[in-house]
C-alpha cells in the first residue's frame, strides 16, 4: 500500500512537476513586476506635489515651460527653450509659492528685476520681469502666499509680452517643469 502511494507520488511529480515549477516561476515574475510597479508609484520622479500658493492671483499662463520643443521668442526673434512659465493677471501682485528665505535680488538684462527664494528640500523659486520696487530684501524670511513684488515688463528678453511674471522652479540647482510639482492651472 505504502509503496503504491510512493509510486503514485513519483508518477504525479513526473507528470505534473514541470507545471508546478513553471507556475512558481510565473508567480515569482508577476510578483516582481507588481513590486516594481508599486515602488514606482510610491516614489515617482518629478511628481512630488507641493503644498504651494500660486505665484499670482487668478493667473493665466501665456507661455508654458518647454525644454524639448523650441518656442518662438517674438522679442528676440529666435527659437529657444523656455525653462519658465509666464503668467499674467489683472492683479499685478507676485506671491511666494512656499515658505522660504529670499536668496537673491538682482536685475539680469534678459530676465529683468528678479527675486530668488530658497525653500526646503532643495527647491528654489525664481520670479522675473518684476517692477523695481520689490517688497522684500535678501535674507528676508517669507511665507507661502506673501506678496513679494509686482509684475512689470522689465525683462528685456520678453519685452513684447508686456507686463508679466516670468517664473521658474529649480530643484537642486536644475530647472524643473513647475507643472510636475505645482497645479499651476488649478490654483
Ligand atoms: Zn518667459
Q: 90 and 28, same structural domain?
A: no
- Report CA torsion sign: 163, 183, 124, 91: positive
Q: 90 and 9, same structural domain?
A: no
Distance 111 CA to ligand 1 centre (A): 8
Is 3 strand, coil or helix? helix
Domain that holds residue 89: 60-180
Query: Can you give the CATH number for the domain in which 166 is found?
Result: 2.70.70.10
Q: 23 and 114, same structural domain?
A: no
Would 36 be classed as within a structural domain?
yes
Distance 122 CA to ligand 1 centre (A): 22
Q: How many independent structural domains does the chain possess?
A: 2
Q: 169 and 107, same structural domain?
A: yes
Radius of gyration in angstroms for the set of CA atoms belonging to the chain, rounded to a whole number: 28
Distance 24 CA to ligand 1 centre (A): 56
Distance 27 CA to ligand 1 centre (A): 51
Residue 97 has φ and ψ, to the nearest 5°, of -75, -25
Could you read off the pLDDT tens digit of each residue along the chain, which spans 187 residues? 566 777 777 786 678 877 877 877 888 888 877 776 665 554 444 556 677 888 999 999 999 999 888 888 988 888 888 999 999 999 999 999 999 999 999 999 999 999 999 999 999 999 999 999 999 999 999 999 999 999 999 999 999 999 999 999 999 999 999 988 887 765 4
Element of type H or E holding 78: strand 78-82
Q: 73 and 34, same structural domain?
A: no
Amino acid at each position: 500500500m505504502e509503496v503504491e502511494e510512493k509510486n503514485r507520488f513519483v508518477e504525479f511529480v513526473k507528470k505534473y512537476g514541470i507545471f508546478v515549477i513553471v507556475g512558481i516561476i510565473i508567480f515569482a515574475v508577476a510578483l516582481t513586476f507588481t513590486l516594481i510597479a508599486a515602488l514606482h508609484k510610491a516614489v515617482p520622479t518629478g511628481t512630488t506635489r507641493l503644498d504651494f500658493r500660486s505665484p499670482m492671483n487668478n493667473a493665466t499662463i501665456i507661455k508654458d515651460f518647454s525644454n524639448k520643443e523650441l518656442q518662438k521668442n517674438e522679442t528676440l526673434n529666435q527659437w529657444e527653450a523656455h525653462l519658465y512659465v509666464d503668467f499674467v493677471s489683472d492683479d499685478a501682485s507676485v506671491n511666494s509659492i512656499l515658505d522660504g528665505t529670499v536668496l537673491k535680488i538682482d536685475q539680469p538684462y534678459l530676465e529683468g528685476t528678479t527675486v530668488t527664494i530658497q525653500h526646503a528640500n532643495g527647491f528654489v523659486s525664481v520670479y522675473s520681469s518684476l517692477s523695481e520696487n520689490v517688497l522684500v530684501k535678501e535674507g528676508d524670511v517669507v511665507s507661502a502666499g506673501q506678496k513679494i513684488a509686482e509684475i512689470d515688463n522689465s525683462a528685456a528678453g520678453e519685452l513684447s509680452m508686456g507686463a508679466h511674471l516670468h517664473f521658474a522652479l529649480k530643484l537642486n540647482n536644475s530647472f524643473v517643469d513647475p507643472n510636475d510639482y505645482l497645479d499651476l492651472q488649478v490654483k
